[in-house]
Amino acid sequence: MKINAELVLKARKRKCWSQEELAIASGLNLRTIQRIENESSASLQSKKALASALEIDIQDLDYEEIRMKTCPECNSMEVYQYKGEVETATISGELLPKLGSTVFSSAKVRPVVCAECGNLRLYASKDAIEKMKTSKHWGQF
């Protein structure tokens, strides 16, 4: 899966680590670190190991996975994303019904807002998407 390689590089430099040192700190091998930084691609396991070694939020490593950089409404590049996920129940009732991780929680989304025109987009969390694929309440068109 895609990873924000730029952030990995920045976080590694901030710690003044070489690629070798990051490999040791994360428990990944050097070739894996090189591939991640060069090809912006990493497994979920590698992502978790990196996030923990570099003390960054694993969601920040996903940053570039979501195609949100320009506004679909006005093409502005001034687009902001919330650096976390919010429960849909806090937005308006339950926006993505039956997709919460438990019966008592609602599905999570990540809001993205255009600073030019206010266009608001919501991206379903990966958990919700996984759940949707097998839910009897949801079906493909």
- Of 21, 94, 116, 127, the residue at the interface with Zn ion (CB under 5 A) is 116
Q: Please, are residues 95 and 122 in contact by the beta-carbon 8 Å criterion?
A: yes
> Whole-number minimum distance, CB 111 to Zn ion, in Å?
14
Residue of 34, 70, 76, 90 interacting with Zn ion (CB under 5 A): 76
Given its phi and psi angles, is residue 132 left (phi above 0), alpha (psi -120 to 50 degrees) or beta?
Answer: alpha
**Would you tell me how many other CB atoms lie within 10 Å of the CB of residue 140?**
5
Asked whether position 135 contacts Zn ion by CB under 5 A, the answer is no
Q: What CA–CA distance (Å, rounded) separates 21 from 13?
A: 11
Q: How far is the CB of 4 from Zn ion (least distance, A)?
A: 23
114 interacts with Zn ion by CB under 5 A: yes
Answer for which of 5, 54, 68, 71 binds Zn ion (CB under 5 A) is 71
Other Cβ atoms within 10 Å of 131 Cβ, number: 19
Q: Tell me which residues touch Zn ion (CB under 5 A).
A: 71, 73-74, 76, 114, 116-117, 119
